[in-house]
């Protein structure tokens, strides 16, 4: 559990984009804010530094991509490295959260919000929002 007024930052990690959502524990609400570019999974650390400095989160939630049958995915090695780098770089606790089907749900939300039209909403930041909402429901 985090401090009552703690800010929580969630990540949907990808090789080209890393979605970020911000939430806070009092209302247990999550909002999409950012998608940081990445090159082969390496984030734009300068951009991420400025986001973390602005929000000063007490906890990071990182999406953990299990296979649909619950087994570990090959991608989890990259997620683990990213999570370790976050913890070391910012000295903020990291919690992993199952993210199965979040991208599918994010695409559905984009379709609904845009009335079926192609919108400018970022599926990565929406996926991060879903990860954070799931965490608030289950543990936050």
What is the domain count for the chain? Answer: 1
- Per-residue model confidence as pLDDT tens digits over 68-126: 677 777 788 899 999 999 999 999 999 998 876 666 666 666 655 655 444 444 778 88
Residue 61 falls inside a structural domain: no
Q: What span, in angstroms and rounded, lies between the C-alpha atoms of 83 and 104? A: 23
Predicted pLDDT at 2: 44
Residue 2 belongs to a domain: no
For every residue of 65-117, DSSP letters joined together read ---TTSPPPTTHHHHHHHHHHHHHHH--EEEEEE-TTHHHHHHHHHHHHTTTS
Per-residue pLDDT tens digits for 52-67 = 999 999 999 999 876 6
Q: Who has greater pLDDT, 71 or 44? A: 44
Reported as a pLDDT band with limits 50, 70 and 90, residue 3 is very low
Give the range of the structural domain holding residue 11, as residue numbers without chain letter.
7-40+48-53+75-138
pLDDT attached to residue 37: 92
Task: Compute the average pLDDT of residues 4-26.
Answer: 87
pLDDT value, residue 11? 95
DSSP 2: -
Q: CATH number, domain at 14? A: 3.30.420.140
The answer to whether residue 87 sits within a structural domain is yes
In a domain, 60, yes or no: no
CB contact at 8 A, 53 and 90: no
């Amino acid at each position: 559990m985090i401090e009552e007024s703690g800010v929580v930052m969630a990540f949907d990690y990808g090789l080209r984009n890393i979605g970020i959502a911000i939430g806070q524990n009092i209302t247990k609400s999550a909002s999409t804010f950012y998608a940081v570019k990445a090159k082969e999974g390496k984030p734009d650390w300068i951009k991420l530094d400025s986001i973390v400095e602005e929000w000063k989160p007490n906890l990071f939630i990182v999406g953990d991509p299990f296979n649909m049958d619950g087994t570990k995915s090959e991608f989890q090695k990259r997620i683990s490295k990213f999570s370790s780098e976050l913890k070391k770089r910012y000295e903020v606790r990291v919690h992993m959260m199952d993210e199965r089907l979040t991208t599918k749900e994010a695409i559905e939300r984009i379709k609904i919000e845009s009335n079926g039209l192609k919108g400018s909403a970022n599926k990565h930041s929406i996926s991060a929002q879903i990860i954070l909402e799931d965490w608030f429901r289950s543990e936050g």
